[in-house]
Each structure stands twice: as C-alpha cells, then as structure tokens.
Amino acid sequence: MKQESGEAFKVSAVIPAFSEEKTIAKVVKGCLHYVDEVLVVDDGSTDDTSVNAAAAGARVIKLPRNMGVLKATERGLHEAKGDIIVTLDADGQHDPSEIPDLIQLILEGKADLVMGRRPSFPHLSEQIIAWLTSFRAPVSDASTGFRAVKGSIARKMRLHGVCLCGTFVLEACRLGARVMEVPVTIKEREQGKRRIQTRHVKQFFILLWDVLWFKETVLDDQVSDRRFRK
C-alpha cells in the first residue's frame, strides 16, 4: 500500500474471534486480498476457530480464557505490525472488499481513525451511544466493529469499558486522532442473530464519564492545534 507521498504503508487486519469456526476462514481469506497481515485473536474459543484461522493464513494469538472483545481487540492492536490497522468481526458481517475505502483517508493524510458507518442500528442503545459520543467526536456510528486506525495511535490506546462502543473512538480522540467516517455494508450473521448484551447500559455511564471529563493528549508526532474534523 502507498500513501499520496508515495511512501509504502503496511496494513494489518485484526480480528477478535470467539467460537467462530464456521466463518473465520472465509473472513481471513477475504482480508488477505487487501492487507499485508491478518492477526486473529482467539478469545478463549473451545472450537476450531484457531485451527481454521491459521489454516486460512492468519497469524493467531490464542488467549487462555474468554476475556471479551475489548481485551482481544486491544491485544491485537498492540501486536499487529501494520502502519494502518483495520479491525473487523469474525462472524462474516463485514465485507473485506471495503477495506480500501476505510484506509484511503488515512493514506491521503486526512484522518487517523476511519469508522465504518453502518446503514442502520439494530438496537436503540447503539443510537444513544452514538448521540453521546458525538459531543466529543464527529461520528454517527460509534459502535461499529469495522474501522481503520493508524498503528502509531493504536499501539498507545488503552481500551476500557465493558465493550468498545463509544469508548474506542474517544480513546483515539484523546490521543489526538482526526476522525472520519465512510459508509459500509453489513451482512447478516451466518451463525444466527448478532450477540448484543445488556452491557450497553453500563457502557453508557462509562461513556458519559468519558465525555464529561474528556481531555486530549497531544502526541509527540502531532501538531498542537490538530482538531477533529469531518
């Protein structure tokens, strides 16, 4: 991959996975057409998720127990080697062919984090989280799992909360990231309904605290007047 200056960029795909043996190989193979590295973080699966991911060409990190998507994603962000890191779900709902759309704005030097904006939200709680996050970041979808972020920022991120909704974006913003969105498509889960828990209730209050006490930290390689823009 190259940015507009002609400088080469390496792209990694990070896929947190928990018991997704039926879909993970297809997702990995799809990503390999668009990235230099696929890193699957197996979040304590007891099925063949790790085996199938490795057979499809992924580098696999297997967590000793189920720690949740937040910890699995954070581990992947810190282990990935790419200058740009793309995250996506292991269940097949994201289309790897849209990865170039996500990373293009970073390659052009216009953004540091690009969120894949879904056409609709399946749950009211996601709409509320998006509304709250928008007070600090220019996003309309703060719960998407399909995103691209500069590796230099990703490796400094310390994720918190009970999930990644809203807090992922604000953590990147705290580190000075310029945030933009691009539309993406969503496929139905091949293994049934999407697993959404009541964790959004607790996540709302964690996010509210972040919004109220938000403070930006400017990194050494960023200009002091960098602000968020669409």
What is the domain extent for residue 80?
11-212
What integer pLDDT is reported at residue 51 of this predicted model?
A: 98
Domain-embedded: residue 208? yes
Domain-embedded: residue 82? yes
Element (H, E) at 116: strand 113-117
CA distance to 71, 129, 151, 180, 212, per residue, from 80 (Å):
14, 28, 8, 22, 32
Mean pLDDT to the nearest integer, 37-66: 97
Which CATH number is 117's domain given? 3.90.550.10
Q: Return the number of other C-beta atoms located less than 10 Å from residue 104's C-beta.
A: 17
Q: Is the separation of the CB atoms in 86 and 13 below 8 Å?
A: yes
Select from 104, 120, 82, 67 the least CA-distant residue to 181: 104
DSSP SS3 for 148: strand
Q: Whole-model pTM above 0.75?
A: yes
What integer pLDDT is reported at residue 109 of this predicted model?
A: 96
Domain-embedded: residue 226? no
Region of poorest pLDDT, from 1-15, 25-39, 88-102, 106-120: 1-15
Residues 145-155 pLDDT 10s? 999 999 999 99
Domain-embedded: residue 132? yes
Domain-embedded: residue 35? yes
Domain-embedded: residue 180? yes
CA 223 – CA 230 distance, rounded (Å): 18
Domain-embedded: residue 204? yes
Give residue 187's pLDDT band: very low, low, confident or very high (50, 70, 90): confident
User: For a pLDDT cut of 90, what percent of the chain falls above it?
Assistant: 79
Domain-embedded: residue 219? no
Q: How many domains does the chain have?
A: 1
19-54: b or e for each residue (b if 16 or more CB lie within 10 Å)? bbbbbbbbbbebbbebbbbbbbbbbbbeebbbebbb
